[in-house]
């Protein structure tokens, strides 16, 4: 069914469009100020609402196959639509890992049922063990958009070989930057919270040491390199310097690292346990500057569902990770309300920036163009809500934002021109 949204503010960062007008959406076209519409068109009031390209989340864990009690592709897509997300890049740490072409085909086939734009970051090494590199060319031919051993850092020699293979096949290399010899799997940042609870913490140099190593390699080899969920001021400075003279390096930050810091950890529970951990207030302030000055290219949720039983364990035993695909836009709109971020930049961090990183500009992340998918998010930037489990549509409810007052609400999501979610 076609839809006409009346008198909405339309923001498309790629084309620099920002205007208030009617917008028509169907499976074949998106038209601003249409001269004619079909009699069967659904009319939606748009005053006070924002119409933007469907959002792109470059870092999600939909847990299928192997961990579908936490999430699966179906429940993950439903959560994505509730967050205005119409394209998502799934990480490979499933069971079995996404390390063969047939497993990439499976992910695409499962998502086809819903028309969802699911992209795959394939495993860089066999079974994510860091020992034997996968065939990057075969993975790309199967449709993979990137390679990563997310959660498992690759040693220097294998990383050098991987970056050379990625350059040869024009594949993006993504890295969870963590020197486990320094982080020691500690549940929190090395700082105020870890001292308060008398437990060991992860030093921020465990991240920045790997970022420094990898940037040196990527620039020398000439490969595209992306830092997943960057969390520290030191890492940010390395990325800022590396980006001055080339377009090979990119970085994302997660919403929880923008809205929260270690000082927000009130109790010794796992509700705010993620990896990388919540850092210092100074790190948080540096990241906010990074999204403003363009050092950070995108905001990505690192959506990591876990069961209630798993997250109820003691802090040291509970798994790392929080859900976030539904609340990324709310986190950014909350920053907009605090005057920490312009609205147009918030939208760009969820559509134009991610599309550029993944090499999909023109297909996704924009409303217009001959190859643009008809993916749209409509949201109310002024709606105020307190996040609770009942707000969340995914299978797991382990959000770091439970009980927080946030701004924004996704009112409608269109996938391929069709209305797939409406609040």
We report the CATH number of the domain holding residue 285 as 3.20.20.140
Burial class (CB in 10 A: 0-12, 13-18, 19+), 246: exposed
349 and 385 belong to one structural domain: no
- The mean per-residue pLDDT over the stretch 214-233 comes to 98
Active site residue 22: no
- The mean per-residue pLDDT over the stretch 247-276 comes to 96
Q: Is position 370 within any domain?
A: no
208 and 90 belong to one structural domain: yes
DSSP 8-state symbol, 278? P
134 and 264 belong to one structural domain: yes
Q: Residue 38: its pLDDT value, please? A: 86
347 and 390 belong to one structural domain: no
380 and 347 belong to one structural domain: no
Q: Which domain holds residue 35?
A: 3-50+376-422
Q: Which of 72, 99, 117, 302 is catalytic?
A: 302
340 and 278 belong to one structural domain: yes
**Nearest CA to 145 among 295, 364, 328, 296?**
364
349 and 231 belong to one structural domain: yes
391 and 270 belong to one structural domain: no
Q: Is position 368 within any domain?
A: no
**Nearest CA to 379 among 2, 15, 78, 44?**
44
Q: Residue 39: its pLDDT value, please? A: 85
Q: Is position 365 within any domain?
A: no
Please enumerate in sequence order all residues whose Cβ is within 8 A of that of 39, keeping only pairs 6 or more positions apart, or say none: none
- From CA 88, how far away is CA 101, in angstroms rounded? 18
Per the structure block, which two tokens stand in for 186? 């500690």
172 and 254 belong to one structural domain: yes
pTM for the full model? 0.98
Separation in Å, CA 10 to CA 7, 214, 412 = 9, 39, 14
38 and 153 belong to one structural domain: no
Total domains in the fold of the chain: 2
| CA angle (361, 380, 398) in 5-degree steps | 80
Q: pLDDT digit string (tens) for 54-110? A: 999 999 999 999 999 999 999 999 999 999 999 999 999 999 999 999 999 999 999
- From CA 115, how far away is CA 413, in angstroms rounded? 13
- From CA 328, how far away is CA 347, in angstroms rounded? 11
Q: Is position 10 within any domain?
A: yes
| CA angle (13, 88, 117) in 5-degree steps | 90
Please enumerate in sequence order all residues whose Cβ is within 8 A of that of 275, keeping only pairs 6 or more positions apart, or say none: 151, 178, 202, 320, 321
Q: pLDDT digit string (tens) for 123-177? A: 999 999 999 999 999 999 999 999 999 989 899 999 999 999 999 999 999 999 9
397 and 295 belong to one structural domain: no
Q: Is position 9 within any domain?
A: yes
134 and 149 belong to one structural domain: yes
Among 303, 325, 357, give the residue marking a domain's end.
357
Q: Residue 245: its pLDDT value, please? A: 80
We report the CATH number of the domain holding residue 25 as 2.30.40.10
Q: Is position 18 within any domain?
A: yes
Q: Is position 371 within any domain?
A: no
Q: Residue 299: its pLDDT value, please? A: 98
Q: Is position 362 within any domain?
A: no
Please enumerate in sequence order all residues whose Cβ is within 8 A of that of 413, keeping only pairs 6 or more positions apart, or say none: 54, 81, 82, 84, 85, 86, 376, 377, 378, 419, 420, 421, 422
């Amino acid at each position: 069914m076609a839809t006409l949204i009346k008198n909405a503010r339309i923001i498309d960062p790629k084309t620099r469009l920002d205007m208030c007008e009617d917008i028509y959406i169907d499976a074949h076209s998106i038209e601003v100020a249409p001269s004619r519409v079909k009699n069967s068109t659904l009319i939606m009031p748009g005053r006070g609402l924002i119409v933007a390209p469907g959002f792109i989340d470059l870092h999600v864990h939909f847990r299928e196959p192997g961990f579908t009690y936490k999430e699966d592709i179906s429940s993950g897509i439903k959560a994505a639509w509730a967050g205005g997300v119409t394209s998502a890049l799934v990480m490979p740490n499933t069971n079995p890992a996404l390390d063969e072409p047939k497993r990439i085909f499976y992910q695409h086939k499962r998502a086809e049922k819903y028309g969802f734009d699911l992209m795959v970051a394939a495993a860089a090494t066999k079974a994510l063990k860091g020992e034997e590199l996968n065939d990057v060319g075969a993975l790309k031919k199967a449709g993979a958009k990137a390679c990563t051993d997310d959660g498992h850092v690759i040693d220097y020699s294998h990383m050098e070989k991987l970056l050379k293979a990625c350059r040869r096949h024009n594949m993006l290399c993504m890295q969870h930057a963590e020197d486990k010899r320094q982080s020691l799997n500690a549940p929190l940042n090395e700082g105020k919270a870890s001292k308060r609870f008398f437990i060991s913490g992860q030093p921020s140099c465990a991240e920045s040491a790997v970022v420094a190593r990898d940037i040196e390699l990527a620039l020398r080899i000439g490969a595209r390199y992306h830092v997943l969920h960057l969390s520290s001021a030191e890492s940010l400075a390395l990325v800022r310097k590396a980006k001055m003279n080339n377009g090979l390096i990119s970085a994302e930050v997660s919403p929880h690292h923008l809205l929260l810091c270690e000082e927000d950890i009130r109790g010794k529970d796992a509700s705010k346990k993620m990896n990388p951990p919540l850092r210092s207030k100074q790190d948080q302030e540096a990241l906010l500057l990074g999204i403003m000055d363009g050092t950070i290219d995108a905001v990505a949720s690192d959506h990591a569902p876990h069961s209630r039983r798993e997250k109820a364990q003691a802090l040291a035993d509970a798994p790392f990770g929080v859900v976030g695909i539904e609340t990324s836009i709310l986190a950014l709109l909350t920053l907009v309300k605090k005057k920490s971020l312009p609205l147009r930049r918030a939208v760009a961090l969820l559509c134009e920036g991610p599309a550029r990183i993944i090499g999909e500009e023109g297909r996704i992340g924009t409303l217009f163009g001959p190859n643009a998918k008809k993916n749209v998010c409509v949201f109310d930037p002024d709606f105020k809500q307190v996040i609770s489990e009942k707000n969340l549509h995914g299978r797991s409810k382990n959000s770091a934002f439970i009980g927080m007052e946030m701004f924004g609400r996704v009112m409608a999501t269109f996938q391929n021109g069709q209305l797939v979610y409406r609040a």
